[in-house]
Structure formats: C-alpha cells, structure tokens
Amino acid sequence: MRGDGEGYDAWQESHADDHDDDTPPSWYAGHHLPPEARRMGLNPSVPDGALLDFAGRLDARKPVHRFTAWAMLVVFGLPVVFAVMRLFYVF
C-alpha cells in the first residue's frame, strides 16, 4: 500500500453504494413478506409480520424446513380443531 492514501481512496470508490439510502439492505429481514402484508402495515418487528417472514424463508427442498412447516401447521391448526370439536360437543 502506498503512503499517499490512494489505496484507501481506490477502495472507497470500488465499494461505493449505488443504491438509495431509503431502501433496506439486502440482508434485511422483511424481504420475504408478501406485498399484501406490507400494504397492511406488517413488518418483521410485529409478531404477525415476523411469523410471515419466517414462513416465507422456508425452502421446500430442505427436509428440516419441511418438518418445520408441518410442525407450524400442527401448532397453529390444533387450536382450531379443538374449538370445532368443542362446538360439536356443545350441540
């Protein structure tokens, strides 16, 4: 590296940001939310938005992700099944 500081200046120019500062970075967690969810105001910082973002990141080609999706379906589906069973029991 030269002592006149040109190495740092060249590095800065090669790594200059070419995107708008208002856009979220590529690693931002909310890139997997559907457009409808964004229009409703959901983002990864609220529980429903975080859950949608997490589910959107699951990849069906990976067995662990498939197992996770089925586990989520059971966890969120069982209360509905129990509520319907309770309705049938009451009538």
pTM of the prediction?
A: 0.58
- Contacts by 54-57, CB closer than 8 A, 24 or more apart: 56/32, 57/32
Rounded Cα gap, residues 49 and 33, in angstroms: 7
Give per-10-residue mean pLDDT for the chain (91 aa).
Answer: 57 58 65 82 86 88 96 96 95 85
- What is the per-residue pLDDT for 46? 87
Question: Which residue is listed with tokens 């990976």?
Answer: 62
Domain ranges of the chain: 23-90
- What is the per-residue pLDDT for 61? 95
Closest CA to 68 of 79, 54, 47: 54
* Residue 76 phi, psi (nearest 5): -90, -20
